[in-house]
Amino acid sequence: MRALIVTAVAAEADSVAAGLTPHPDPAVPEPRTLPGGYAVLRRDLPGLAADVLAGGVGPAAAAAATATALALGDYGLVVSAGIGGGFQPAAPPGSLVVADAIVAADLGADTADGFVPVQELGFGRSVHLPPAELAAHAGEAAGALLAPVLTVSTVTGTAERAAALAARHPSAGAEAMEGFGVAEAAAAHGLPVLEVRGISNAVGPRDRDAWRIGDALAALTAGFRALGPVLVHWGEQHEHRREHRSRP
């Protein structure tokens, strides 16, 4: 199976790819560039081929990059990965969150009665669900919190907004800016999606001095090293299902 892993920026792509590099480190091929200028790192582990793409920040950029790559390759799984803000105390900086739901948390309408999600307005959907078994195994293998990850277009920077999001999504583990865009593109291609976030900061009042980007990137690398075998196993089952479906 070939997996497409979409990050926002190159530092995240490098950290994910580092976790998917077999030991000892072989000569690593140069990144390929897709139409649109997207850089792709290719990793071939036994049983798992992965393309790691830096697609830009925010849900729209992520959806455009993911759709571009999916139109050009034969993938069996799409993963949104990168750093993110963690809801406290469940997901402290340096920890890892695997999504059991990918939620468009600020896509909708603001009303006198509060926020109404786009799905309740009758347009499209507000949540994508990763395959439950895959997400559970991934979370367990990586020692991650398994919880909903919210996609937002605006990074939360106040205690009030953090409290409002937590009230609407009491079990949320993290927020980030790309997961829902990646998931929409995956769904348009009929593909399953997963989201993995290394936590760089707490969701809450803006405090740039408290960011732990290095720890979050290290958590991503360690997480993907642990996730490799889970993806291999899931890919084998996927190939089996695909062969079964294509039999006359």
Tokens of 52: 């790691």
Task: Among 53, 99, 176, 222, indicate the residue that binds ligand LNDFFVEH (CB under 6 A).
Answer: 176
Task: Among 15, 66, 126, 201, indicate the residue that binds ligand LNDFFVEH (CB under 6 A).
Answer: 201
53 near ligand LNDFFVEH (CB under 6 A)? no
**Helices in 46-95 by DSSP H: which ranges?**
59-72
Q: How far is the CB of 242 from ligand LNDFFVEH (least distance, A)?
A: 31
Task: Among 100, 106, 175, 184, indicate the residue that binds ligand LNDFFVEH (CB under 6 A).
Answer: 175
User: Side chain identity at 185, as an amino acid letter?
Assistant: A
23 near ligand LNDFFVEH (CB under 6 A)? no
Tokens of 212: 């732990």
Task: Among 24, 113, 190, 208, indicate the residue that binds ligand LNDFFVEH (CB under 6 A).
Answer: 208
Strand partners of residue 196:
81, 98
Cα separation, 20 vs 60, whole angstroms = 27
DSSP code string of 18-45: HHTPPSS--PPPPPEE-TTS-EEEEEEE
What residue ranges bind ligand LNDFFVEH (CB under 6 A)?
A: 8, 57, 82-85, 152, 155-157, 175-178, 200-201, 203, 206, 208
